Chain A
Amino acid sequence: MTDTSPAPVASPEHMGEPDELGFFGEFGGRYVGEPLIGACEEVEAAFVDAWGDPAFRDEFIHVLNTYGGRPSPTTECGNLSEQLGLRLLLKREDLNHTGSHKINNVIGQALLAKRMGKTRLIAETGAGQHGVATATAAALLGMSCTVYMGEVDMARQELNVFRMRLLGTEVVPAMSGSRTLKDAVNEAMRAWVSEVGDTHYCLGSVMGPHPYPWMVRTFHEIIGTEARQQVMDLTGGLPDVAVACVGGGSNAAGLFAGFADDPGVRLVGAEPAGGAAAGRGVPAIVHGMKSYFMQDEVGQILEAESISAGLDYPGLGPEHSHLAKTKRAEYFPVTDAEVLDAFQLLSRSEGIIPALESAHAIAWVTKAKDELKGQTVLVNMSGRGDKDVQQVQEILGEQA
Chain B
Amino acid sequence: MSDTQVKKQESLEAYLTERRGQRRLLMPYVTAGVCPDWLELVDAVIDAGADAIEIGIPFSDPAIDGTTIQEATVVALEAGMTPARCLTELSQRQFGVPLIAMTHYNLVYRYGHERFADDLVAAGGWGTILPDLPMEHGADWTAIAAERGIENVLLAAPVTSDARLQRVADESGGFVYVVSTMGTTGARAGVDDAATVLATRVKSMTNKPAVVGFGISNGETAVTAAKAADGVIIASALMRRILEGQSVEEAASLVAEVRAALDEAYPAG
Residues of A within 8 A of B (CB): 21, 29-35, 37-39, 176-177, 182-183, 185-186, 189-190, 193-194, 196, 284-288, 295, 297-302
Complex partner residue of B77 from A39, A190, A287, A300, CB under 8 angstroms = A300
Contacts A33-B131, A35-B159, A299-B107 known; list 4 others, CB within 8 Å: A31-B133, A34-B134, A286-B104, A298-B83
A34 and B184 within 8 A (CB): no
A177 and B60 within 8 A (CB): yes
CA separation between A37 and B156, bound complex, in Å? 11
Given known pairs A38-B161, A196-B182, the reply for A298 and B62 (CB within 8 Å) is no
Complex partner residue of B183 from A34, A194, A288, CB under 8 angstroms = A194
Q: How many A-B contacts are there with CB distance less than 8 Å?
A: 113
A285 and B63 within 8 A (CB): no
CA separation between A298 and B76, bound complex, in Å? 15
Is the C-beta of B128 less than 8 angstroms from some C-beta in chain A?
no
Minimal Cβ-Cβ distance residue in A for B161:
A38
A33 and B64 within 8 A (CB): yes
Complex partner residue of B157 from A31, A34, A299, CB under 8 angstroms = A34
> Which residues in B have their C-beta under 8 angstroms from that of A30?
134, 136-137
A21 and B136 within 8 A (CB): yes
CB interface residues, B 170-188, toward A, < 8 Å = 179, 181-184
Q: List 10 A-B contacts (CB under 8 A).
A: A21-B136, A33-B134, A34-B156, A38-B157, A190-B183, A194-B183, A285-B109, A286-B106, A297-B110, A301-B106
Is the C-beta of B217 less than 8 angstroms from some C-beta in chain A?
no
Is the C-beta of B66 less than 8 angstroms from some C-beta in chain A?
yes
B157 and A287 within 8 A (CB): no
Given known pairs A35-B179, A38-B160, A186-B62, the reply for A295 and B110 (CB within 8 Å) is yes
CB interface residues, B 55-70, toward A, < 8 Å = 59-64, 66, 70
B182 and A299 within 8 A (CB): no
Is the C-beta of B82 less than 8 angstroms from some C-beta in chain A?
yes
A298 and B82 within 8 A (CB): yes
Complex partner residue of A285 from B82, B106, B164, B179, CB under 8 angstroms = B106
CA separation between A193 and B215, bound complex, in Å? 14
> Which residues in A have their C-beta under 8 angstroms from that of B110?
284, 295, 297-299
CB interface residues, B 137-165, toward A, < 8 Å = 137, 154-161, 164
B105 and A285 within 8 A (CB): yes
Given known pairs A34-B179, A298-B111, the reply for A287 and B63 (CB within 8 Å) is yes
